[in-house]
Amino acid sequence: MTRLVAGDFEWGRVLGEGSYGEVVLARLKDPSPFPDWPTEFAVKKLSKRFILKEQSIMHRTGRDVQKQCFTEKNLLSKLSSPFIVSLFTTFTTTEELFYAISYQDQGDLRELLNEKGALEVNAARFYLAELFSALFYLHDNLVIHRDIKPENILLGKSESGVHLKLCDFATAKDVTTLKDGERASTFVGSAEYVSPELLGYDEEVGKYAVYESDLWAAASVVYFTLAGLPPFRAESEYLMYRKIETNDYSFPEGFHEEGKTLVKELLQLKPCERLGAGRNHSDIKNHPFFKEINWTDLHKQEPPTIR
Ligand code: ADE
């Protein structure tokens, strides 16, 4: 197999700042060795020095950064879905690790919502169906994402129009790697989208991530997409967690009615009571909010325009 090195790429603008380095746009200088490869990539750079430094303070941070880097690489290598970014190759220099990932040229859902506010319902419905398709695929493959949020939902143009891809698998959990009786416990997600079980609201249940934790976070994304702001908002993280634990949110006037029932049925404190719990994807697919959606090959369908 042809191995690529950093010198094979022309480096462009910075696309984002990850926790351990930048994501940079990169173009292959010579024609690609593989005919089905794109010419542009989003290359995630991971600083070896930073990883080692973080590793030395793991006892304080609770973050195993080295493991997260490997998890992202391993999961992206084994997953293959139109709704998930692809990892094409990895390479290293003495200072850094590089992951060449599919470049999504239309930014992320957070930027889009910040710029346009709530999406028009047909566009929202289409992109949310793509988001749930990504989750169904992950959960069918025994992976919990654990950090579903608009910033990790990327948009990119393809032949049929702008489509969605989920990214950032650093904190995802490959359930198949859990030993007998072990659970995906650490709270790794982002404050606004964290599920009550990860805050330990139910002492009997304990703090652990389950497939349904992704459904809670996805419900917050549904709300955000239809309202233009997230469901749980507060001055401090502490107050936000209090609201999450007590399911204290309300809908703004004019919120789409079927969207409302979808959010309500997903934002249930008990994971097993959430719509689609137990990986019953058809409960979500058959929800009235998605009535107009044909779930087959969404990525090949022409999406409604985003206004
Ligand atoms: N930012 C982070 N990952 C990206 C990607 N794959 N495409 C575009 N921007 C990104």
What ipTM was assigned to the predicted interfaces of this complex? 0.96
Mean pLDDT of 182-204: 79
Question: Distance (Å, rounded) from C-alpha 219 to C-alpha 231?
Answer: 9
* Amino acid identity for residue 252 in this structure: P
Question: Distance (Å, rounded) from C-alpha 33 to C-alpha 160?
Answer: 26
Can you give the pLDDT at residue 3? 77
Can you give the pLDDT at residue 144? 96
Can you give the pLDDT at residue 204? 67
Mean pLDDT of 91-114: 96
Question: Distance (Å, rounded) from C-alpha 85 to C-alpha 98?
Answer: 15
Pocket lining for ligand 1, CB < 6 angstroms = 15-16, 23, 42, 85, 101-104, 154, 167
Give percent helix, percent strand, percent coil of the chain, each to the nearest 5: 40, 20, 40
> Which is the catalytic residue, given 147, 174, 283, 297?
147
- 291 exposure class (CB count in 10 Å sphere: 0-12, 13-18, 19+): exposed
Least confident window among 28-32, 122-126, 131-135, 282-286: 28-32
Q: Pairing state of beta strands 96-102 and 40-47?
A: antiparallel
Can you give the pLDDT at residue 62? 80
Q: Are 79 and 138 in contact (CB under 8 A)?
A: yes
The pLDDT tens digits of the residues spanning 196-244 come to 988 887 776 667 889 999 999 999 999 999 999 999 999 999 999 999 9
154 CA to centre of ligand 1 in angstroms:
7
163 CA to centre of ligand 1 in angstroms:
13
**CA dihedral for 178, 58, 232, 229, sign (positive or negative):** negative
pLDDT at 285 over 70: yes
* Amino acid identity for residue 68 in this structure: Q
Mean pLDDT highest for which of 1-5, 71-75, 196-200? 71-75
Q: List all residues 6 or more positions away from 113 whose beta carbon is below 8 Å from its beta carbon.
A: 119, 150, 224, 225, 228
Can you give the pLDDT at residue 54? 87
What residue spans of the chain are helical by DSSP H?
A: 48-56, 58-61, 65-78, 109-116, 121-140, 211-227, 237-245, 257-266, 281-285
Least confident window among 148-152, 155-159, 170-174, 277-281: 170-174
Angstrom distances, CA of residue 186 to CA of 71, 183, 193, 195, 197: 15, 9, 15, 12, 11
Q: Among residues of the chain, what percentage have pLDDT more than 70?
A: 96
Question: Distance (Å, rounded) from C-alpha 272 to C-alpha 287?
Answer: 17
Question: Distance (Å, rounded) from C-alpha 68 to C-alpha 78?
Answer: 15
Question: Is 147 noted as a catalytic residue in this protein?
Answer: yes
155 CA to centre of ligand 1 in angstroms:
9
182 CA to centre of ligand 1 in angstroms:
33
Name the residue at shortest CA distance from atom 8 of ligand 1. 104
C-alpha angle 152-145-220 in degrees, rounded to nearest 5: 60
Q: Which of 181, 212, 182 is nearest to 196 (CA)?
A: 212
Best substitution site from 15, 46, 87, 98 to test ligand 1's pocket, by max atoms within 8 Å of Cβ? 15
pTM (2 d.p.): 0.94
149 is in an annotated binding site: no
DSSP for 159-185 reads TTEEEEEE---TT-EEGGGSPTT--B-
Atom of ligand 1 nearest to the CA of 16: 1
Can you give the pLDDT at residue 185? 65
Atom of ligand 1 nearest to the CA of 18: 2
3-state secondary structure of 87: strand
Atom of ligand 1 nearest to the CA of 104: 7
Can you give the pLDDT at residue 258? 98
Q: Which of 86, 105, 94 is nearest to 6 (CA)?
A: 94
Best substitution site from 23, 98, 157 to test ligand 1's pocket, by max atoms within 8 Å of Cβ? 23
Q: Are 3 and 33 in contact (CB under 8 A)?
A: no
